[in-house]
Every structure is written in structure tokens, then in C-alpha cells.
A and B are shown apart, each in its own frame.
Chain A
């Protein structure tokens, strides 16, 4: 433990530094929130507004972990996750579903399409950070 770190300035967790995280959500508020929270932790954050846009960006940026909203226009979160998990190149990239509903059906569908975890909105900063720590092994 580094006791020299002052108590009132929260140190960024160095386990998150440089982790490349993708956030796919059609809500600008969610994208901005995630970008700010995770950016402060030293993560590199890439955003996309729907599944279609995300697929191209995933191939280009190869994120370490992907947060994906369920309800989105064009390609929804389940379809997006299924496409990621069916691609041998990205199959091992952890996918975390984000949903505003705490529904047993959504959770079941999320697991069926291969996602690693399910977070209910509004999520807290700690939930986001813990999800990354849990699934991104370095």
C-alpha cells in the first residue's frame, strides 16, 4: 500500500490503465457517462451508437471488453453480442449487457447469446469498474 497517496484524491486503479473498452449505446448520456467515468480510470474508451456501427469499430480497434445496450435501433444488443461471439477472432472478448430492465427474460437471453455479465441501468461507477476488473485478465 502506498500511504503517500492522499485520501481525498482518488487514485486511478492502475489495473485499468490502458484497457480498451467499447461502449455501445444509442443514448448519448450513457456514452458520455461511461466515457468520463472510465476515462478517469485510465481506460481508452471507444463508443458506438448501435450494433452496426460497433461491428466495424470492433474490427478496427479490437477492444479488451465491450459494454452493449440491449434496446438499440438497427442491430440490438442480443444480435450484436451473438455476432461478436460467433466470430472466432472476437469470441473471447468479454461482452457485458446493459439494460434498463431488471428482467429474468433479458438476463436469460443475454446468457444465451453468450454475454459474460448483465448490468441494470442506472449502473454505478463501481459496477462498471468491477466488471472490467473481473473480466479483463492481464
Chain B
């Protein structure tokens, strides 16, 4: 089964996303900061990464940029999952290498559809 890495500094958010993904049968890894997210991605090689944006330290845009510029992790699709809903944020995320963008609060159906799209 596909493995998903969830990067978010909110434990509640991780709990919710992890619950939805595990219920759908995915294996879930978590990281609570941008730095940890990049590190875990390199080590665990997930199939998809769900990335929050607003986090202390390395934020989700920066972490996504690091991952997409690193040949080791560049092929792992990153989906931004964030409360930031401005068009400029979406375009910026794409420039950092994100493959999709979900605005919180994320509905289960929408999340699973986005994950499946990246896996296919």
C-alpha cells in the first residue's frame, strides 16, 4: 500500500489527516516541521507528501522547494494542505514544485481524490 508523509506542526491536523488516510488503507508517516519533513522524505521515500505551509522554521514552501530541487526526492509529489487560500499562494506553491493544493479545512473525499490522482 502506498505510503503518505504528512508534514504539519499541528498535532490535531496530523491526527485528522492521518485518520482519513489510514481509514482509506494508506500507511502514514508524520513530521511536525519543515526540517523534519525534508529529512523524513529523504529517509522514508513516501509515495506522496502532504505539506502544511505555515510552520515555524522552514515553512512548507521552503521545504517543498528543497524537496523538488533534490534529485533524491524530486519525483515525490507534494500536495500543499494549508489555510492560505490566496491565488498568489497557489501560484507560489506551484513554483516551488507542488503538484496540487488543498485549502483547509480539507474534506475527506477531496483529500483522497487528490492523493489518488498523484498515485496514478
Q: A residues within 8 Å of B by Cβ?
A: 104-105, 108-109, 111-112
Size category, B interface = under 10
Q: List 18 A-B contacts (CB under 8 A).
A: A104-B90, A104-B100, A104-B101, A105-B90, A105-B91, A105-B93, A105-B94, A105-B101, A108-B87, A108-B88, A108-B90, A108-B91, A109-B87, A109-B91, A111-B87, A112-B87, A112-B88, A112-B91
- Cα–Cα distance between A104 and B94 once the two chains are bound (Å): 10
- Cα–Cα distance between A111 and B88 once the two chains are bound (Å): 10
Return the chain B residue nearest A109 by Cβ.
Answer: B91
Q: For B94, what are the chain A residues with a Cβ–Cβ distance below 8 Å?
A: 105
- Cα–Cα distance between A104 and B80 once the two chains are bound (Å): 11
- Cα–Cα distance between A108 and B90 once the two chains are bound (Å): 7
Within 8 A of A (CB), among B42-101: 87-88, 90-91, 93-94, 100-101
Q: Distance in Å from the Cβ of B20 to the closest Cβ of chain A?
A: 19
1/0 per residue, CB under 8 A from A, across B19-33: the answer is 000000000000000
Q: For A111, what are the chain B residues with a Cβ–Cβ distance below 8 Å?
A: 87
Q: For B87, what are the chain A residues with a Cβ–Cβ distance below 8 Å?
A: 108-109, 111-112
Q: Distance in Å from the Cβ of B65 to the closest Cβ of chain A?
A: 16
Q: 9 shortest A-B CB distances, which residue pairs?
A: A108-B90, A108-B87, A105-B94, A111-B87, A104-B101, A112-B87, A108-B91, A109-B91, A105-B90
Extra contacts besides A108-B90, A109-B91 (16): CB < 8 Å: A104-B90, A104-B100, A104-B101, A105-B90, A105-B91, A105-B93, A105-B94, A105-B101, A108-B87, A108-B88, A108-B91, A109-B87, A111-B87, A112-B87, A112-B88, A112-B91
Q: For B93, what are the chain A residues with a Cβ–Cβ distance below 8 Å?
A: 105
- Cα–Cα distance between A108 and B100 once the two chains are bound (Å): 12
Q: Distance in Å from the Cβ of A39 to the closest Cβ of chain B?
A: 34
Q: For A112, what are the chain B residues with a Cβ–Cβ distance below 8 Å?
A: 87-88, 91
Q: For A105, what are the chain B residues with a Cβ–Cβ distance below 8 Å?
A: 90-91, 93-94, 101
Q: For B88, what are the chain A residues with a Cβ–Cβ distance below 8 Å?
A: 108, 112
- Cα–Cα distance between A114 and B63 once the two chains are bound (Å): 30
Q: For B90, what are the chain A residues with a Cβ–Cβ distance below 8 Å?
A: 104-105, 108
